[in-house]
Amino acid sequence: MTAPESSDPRWATYPDTIVEIHASPLVRLDLRRPIAPEVVLRLRRLGLGDAWAIITAHNPGRILPPQENERREKALAGAVQALGVPFLPADGVSPDGGHREAGIAIALERGRAVALAGEFGQSAIFWFDGEGFWLVPALVGGAPIGLPVSEA
Distance CA 118, CA 66 (A): 20
Q: Where are the domains of the chain?
A: 11-147
Inform me whether the pLDDT recorded for 7 exceeds 80.
no
Helices 66-83, 110-119: inter-axial angle, 10-degree rounding: 140
Give CA angle at 43 (42, 44), nearest 5°.
90
What is the per-residue pLDDT for 98? 94
User: What pLDDT score does 1 carry?
Assistant: 40
Q: pTM score, two decimals? A: 0.92
pLDDT at 141: 86
pLDDT higher at 121 or 151: 121
Q: Is the pLDDT assigned to residue 15 strictly greater than 50?
A: yes
- Residue 15: what are its φ and ψ, rounded to 5°? -65, -10
d(CA 91, CA 116) in angstroms, rounded, equals 17
